[in-house]
Amino acid sequence: MLWVKAFHIVFVASWFAGLFYLPRIFVNLAMVPPESVAERQRLLVMSRKLLRFTTLLSVPALALGLWLWLGYGIGRGPGNGWMHAKLLVVALVIGYHHSCARVLRRFEAGENRRGHVWYRWFNEAPVLMLVAAVVLVVVKPF
């Protein structure tokens, strides 16, 4: 089980690295002047590739997490409220990942209506979710 846990951590860290960087590209896309077609296209290609890679990393992260959850039986019985909270955080991360895909589709269609400041704030969400997940798993506050 330690191998499963180790690879789960590696894939989660890699998934989050993509979720940290992808919205940063959105910040840059929101700042591209309309006449800079080549710059916009380059950033869109980077975004598409990063989203695809990040999605591929999320699959083993989630599968290994499920394996650990079922294998250890964590979250069952009293004193395991932290696991339910962590599963909520995981659901939020999955939702955030899907919202990044929607944002990218809007940029590709030329339908972005938000400015770079909004995307700077949007970029902070995965940091908060990672902190919450780590605190819940390590501290087990409830």
Residue-wise pLDDT tens digits, 79-133: 788 988 999 999 999 999 999 999 999 999 999 999 999 999 999 999 999 999 9
> pLDDT at position 120, please?
97
> pLDDT at position 79, please?
76
Q: What is the mean pLDDT of the chain?
A: 95
d(Cα 119, Cα 98) in Å, to the nearest integer?
15
> pLDDT at position 77, please?
67
> pLDDT at position 74, please?
65
Contact assessment for residue 82 and residue 142, using Cβ atoms and an 8 Å cutoff: yes
Question: So where are the chain's domains?
Answer: 2-139
> pLDDT at position 18, please?
98
pLDDT interval class at 72 (50, 70, 90): confident
Instruction: Please indicate whether residue 78 or residue 106 has the higher confidence score (pLDDT).
Output: 106
> pLDDT at position 1, please?
85
Which pTM was predicted? 0.93
